[in-house]
Structure 1
Amino acid sequence: MHAITVPSPGGPEALVWAEVPDPEPGPGEVVVDVRASAVNRADLLQRQGHYPPPPGAPAYLGLECSGVISAVGPDVTDWRVGQEVCALLAGGGYAERVAVPAGQVLPVPAGVDLVDAAALPEVACTVWSNVVRLAGLRAGETLLVHGGGSGIGTFAIQLGVALGATVLVTARAAKHERLRELGAAHTIDYAGQDFVEEVRRVTDGRGADVVLDIMGASYLRQNVAALATGGRLMVIGLQGGRKGELDLNALMAKRATIGATTLRARPAAEKAAIVRGVRDEVWPLVEAGRIRPVVDRRMPMAEAAEAHRRVENSDHLGKVLLTTG
């Protein structure tokens, strides 16, 4: 088969479409003939040599895919050859085939195109596990989403609205109209507006109950300031740095909570539990049309370098998909 390889870490030009060995399904695994994968920020970091795959994961980029099952390994009873699926991966999505633990496989939701389904697994699992499972977002609360135009952001807006929350987002001004169409109640231009002031203004001084943050250190102080009493800050990205100063008194005064998670390196059993939760609680919302995959564009997998440039420059809205056919 062919896959996108990275012979030497570097810029987008480091990505090479090359012939590699075919995967074989191990115990509890299935092989998926990939129709599409999606570009995530983690892929950019891995390409640069900063985010190696966890032990046992394929060396190739790609944290999600959609396609058709072509082989099943021993002990697999829930899936069969020929089923259309999408899957959460520890790596290997930028390829014509990938082996994946059966517990990380999802059916393609009814009404969703097979290729577009590749836009769902990583964002659905990340957002649901943080916003719902850990932060416990409830109807009537306010959710602040940073990076509203990203794949994570566009999904989080829709999930928050479907759960009955009021969703506020930060994003480039050029993306605001699309984000309001997805259900954002208020959009904030992070380049020209103070998001803390805006959050306080639109919530009558109360603040956000849940903040989903991709920035990390550079937003830590402001995120705590933007929280409501009893608020929950969930950090899922470090685009603004790893180390920041935390005012514990401010956090204690609000009786607030900070959580921080990653998904890729979790044990397979933990990932399978998240996937089950997504299938039970999120897939019905997708099949009802209340959440849909937001696809910026489809590009041939051999053009992964150009896809990386688009995501690196934040020119996209939603997910950039890489297709094999």
Structure 2
Amino acid sequence: MKTALLITAYRSPSQFGRLVRAVSGARMDCFVHIDRKSDIAPFKAAVRGLDNVFFVIDRYSVALEHSSHVLAILAAARLAMRHGSYSYFVSLTGQCYPLASNDEISGTLDALYPQEIIDSRVCKPGCWCAGWGRWQKLETSRAIIQKWLGKDRYETWHGKLARAPLNLIEMVLTLFSGRPKDRLERLGYRYSAGSHMWMLSDHAMKFILERAENDRALMKIFRGISTPEESFFQTVLTAAEFTGTRAKFEKHHISIDHGLNRMERSDILRFICDARGTVNNLRHPLVVTMQEREFIERSRALFGRKFDETVDHAILDFIDVLRALPSQERNSLASRPL
């Protein structure tokens, strides 16, 4: 069985090239969406000579907390579906990196098939995403603010101040027109959320693409809902036509809990650094550095995020050494207590 890696990227062509070359092999093909705002030529040059890398032609201008991110992933998935037959579709960004060898990744997914490996929680009281689900109709205005401030400043107090009037307008819209998650329930979905890093079977991806193509009401809602890239895929898979019964869905669903203020070592989905020391980062994971090398050694995850070669190039070199170790030696590292 083969795997399709769906990669969305917008920066650092050299790191993107390193990621693609690391996973390049007979059983994994890469389907890539490069942000329309970025020059695609350096990304193509970074993977020149590889025959298993395919780029989306009709690209989107991608913004944070915007439906364009969902559309970019769907475009890569459609390209993969047209290209061939794949048992799994894995969502990655240009700042992800494989932690396991290619043989281990393929072997693990073969053993798990057809389970859906996705972090998902129904957004209800008591859940971390309970406050999600309000209308976010002013997407274009947010994209303009993000372009003006830059993605880094957009997440600081500058961005929060600039977005405050938009948030107020959308709160009023939600109050008077009803919550979008209530509309989703009327369509037969349960509004759910989690990471946009997932590994979905061919059955799930075909179902998602069919719904994206034919359920116009669904797509209209997700064009005006908060953080769609972390809720669209989770929500679509709650439809009864896919799950059959809740019990069946739970049986084929691996959901990873991600706490805060600690280093995550998920069993399979991904390795992620939520917080380091006393520094909290609730919106986005921290860049993984050599400070996390012991956690990397012990991680059972197939992929990790996020990495930045301009911040710490050595951690990627360290991972390459680990990936080359014989499986028995690598397993002995993983079994050692912290």
Identify the structure with the greater helix proportion. 2
Shared fold per TM-score greater than 0.5? no
TM-score range, shorter chain: under 0.3
**TM-score normalized with structure 1 length:** 0.24
